[in-house]
A and B are shown apart, each in its own frame.
Chain A
């Protein structure tokens, strides 16, 4: 049994004449502990599929199984609890809370999990350090560069040590060196903690870290290949 599986999932935006099918029947199964890169041209439905996998959006038809649970049958609160306890999500547009320090942004998921103050702060600091932002704890998003905001968003997604990490272009705003650092971090989380990682990227260099590469074209899975991940420097 797969950890995540999509079965003939479609997603249609709009209605009637203006209707647009962003996903045209996607079948995709992801095993626990895998590291998957999702690639494809702009507009091919990568973000749409990630949002559905992240329980942020609901498919128009088809089914989504998380372990053996039919997500489409869960109510809003059950899906919220699924996000809270199993999923970490890095948005393409960061979505940090404005006027809120990096530390508070990162500790937010722990707050909703009901972690005590001390544990919350320690974990949030550690996560910020892992993405190379030690010393930036008190800065607001407005005082951070795009790349730094992106790293705060990554820290917020990994701070809970989720079962599945869904990252929509996590290196989209980063320079090459930072991108490789982030990829090494994701690889470590994947190998050491067994976190399943799904990552959207346009860069073959980054996809090279994954063990599986799925290509989307026009809302369908076009190709799905096994990959030998590049060596991570020790």
Chain B
């Protein structure tokens, strides 16, 4: 009975190709939209968390101004000085390193190649805090830091642009009016989630940058790494106390700097992308619903014709359950075909879009199953239940159906 009914169901699909096509199309569109949007949203979330993880875990960022984010008021806030970094290092226990930072966007030249990049001035602690590893050469030493020597460590991207595949250690690059010895090459970290290339950087001692590039004693920010097992919130409190004192902030005045835990930043950012994913998912769910309504329409429009068909089959001697099984098979075949095509297209589309948007492609079996299940359910419900009503009629009533 199963095989004959399967044959009958497949014949019925074949002879109504347009109806089959429209049913499949409805499901394909719904599944495609949901799976693609949610997959991309997940990719964006992953990218953000990956980027934050690459910052290192127990990090505090200290910036002048009141808070992070758009519209922050840093205009009146004085920047830091090197002495602040030294005071922090001396007075706050439990720190692994304090990296004062000053940076500048400049064009660097080597071997006839130009490349515009970020010059990051800092101390050796910067490498540790950012969890950087050397690919070759060495970091600058304490003497060079103190002297503000013209030495630098370059990122992988800068190496690629200026030196191609060669090892740059021992070569020189020209930065504005001065020439700088390359002493080390950093291992690649790759693209960050926000589309910024973290390897596109040249690191020099802070003094060198201050003297030769920014021309001031200002430190734009501090990156402080806390030892494992030390509470970052406690360190954060101590930092705030110390800096308020050093910056002469009265008791009732607000801070004119802010200290952020990178974990907090991570949570904020991934919170945002999760909201975005949920939003995209909601939009996509609507398209799934629209696809479902399309299917429902097709099924309901064909009910008259199909009721007559059911009448004929019953009159010829088909059992009610055979007719129902036939309709169930038709619905399942069409919806799963639509679901599969939808998932395949969605996989391709999300790979292409993930590549364009520079976020990782994150396959999520859950959403694929969910979209598939939902569309299959729609197909089955609207294919099967009208048929069930018709199959319960006397054959003659089904045949008379207008």
Report A's interface with B, CB cutoff 8 A. Answer: 51, 54, 56-58, 76-77, 80-81, 83-85, 87, 89, 91, 93, 95-100, 104, 108-109, 111-114, 156
Contacts and interface: CB of A to CB of B under 8 A. Distances in A.
A93 to B, nearest CB: 8
A77 B319 contact: yes
Given A56-B395, A114-B1, A114-B4, A108 B16 contact: no
Given A51-B396, A99-B15, A84 B317 contact: yes
Contacts of A57: 394-396
Contact of B15 (A95, A96, A100, A113): A100
Interface of B: 1, 4, 7-8, 11, 15-16, 305, 308-309, 311-322, 394-396, 399
Contacts of B317: 80-81, 83-85, 87, 109, 112-113
23 contacts: A54-B315, A56-B399, A57-B395, A77-B321, A80-B314, A80-B318, A80-B319, A81-B319, A83-B316, A84-B317, A85-B317, A87-B317, A89-B315, A91-B399, A95-B311, A95-B399, A96-B312, A98-B305, A108-B313, A109-B316, A109-B317, A112-B316, A112-B318
Nearest to B305: A98
Contacts of B309: 97-98
B100 to A, nearest CB: 80
A112 B4 contact: yes
The B interface, classified by DSSP as helix, strand, loop or mixed, is helix
Residue of A76, A80, A84, A97 with most partner-chain B CB within 10 A: A80
A54 B396 CA distance: 10
Contacts of A51: 396
B394 A108 contact: no
Contacts of A108: 313, 316
Nearest to B397: A57
A104 B319 contact: no
A75 to B, nearest CB: 10
Contact of A77 (B311, B320, B394, B396): B320
A56 B315 contact: yes
Nearest to B393: A76
A97 B315 CA distance: 12
Contacts, number: 67
The 5 nearest A-B residue pairs measured at CB: A84-B317, A83-B317, A57-B396, A56-B396, A99-B15
Nearest to B11: A104
Given A56-B395, A57-B395, 12 more contacts: A57-B394, A57-B396, A58-B394, A83-B315, A83-B317, A84-B316, A91-B315, A95-B311, A95-B399, A98-B305, A109-B317, A112-B318
B46 to A, nearest CB: 50
Contacts of B314: 80
Contacts of B308: 95
B197 to A, nearest CB: 60
Contacts of A104: 11
B394 to A, nearest CB: 6
A156 B317 CA distance: 12
A164 to B, nearest CB: 13
A91 to B, nearest CB: 8
Nearest to B314: A80
Contacts of A80: 314, 317-320
B309 to A, nearest CB: 6
A15 to B, nearest CB: 15
B312 A97 contact: yes
A85 B322 CA distance: 16
A194 B141 CA distance: 112
Contact of A99 (B16, B311, B312, B321): B16
A93 B399 CA distance: 10
Contacts of B394: 56-58
A93 B315 CA distance: 13
Nearest to A114: B4
A51 to B, nearest CB: 5
A111 B326 CA distance: 13
Contacts of A98: 305, 309
Contacts of A54: 315
A96 B319 CA distance: 18
A57 B319 CA distance: 15
B316 A156 contact: yes
Nearest to A120: B4
A95 B4 contact: no
A117 to B, nearest CB: 9
Nearest to A115: B4
Contacts of B8: 111
Residue of A54, A77, A111, A114 with most partner-chain B CB within 10 A: A111
A54 B317 CA distance: 11
A212 B314 CA distance: 30
Contacts of B319: 77, 80-81
Nearest to B312: A95
B389 to A, nearest CB: 14
Nearest to A57: B396
B19 to A, nearest CB: 11
Contact of B320 (A76, A96, A99, A156): A76
B172 to A, nearest CB: 81
Contacts of B321: 77
A83 to B, nearest CB: 4
Given A57-B394, A58-B394, A104-B11, A95 B315 contact: yes
A96 B318 CA distance: 15
Residue of B8, B11, B395 with most partner-chain A CB within 10 A: B395
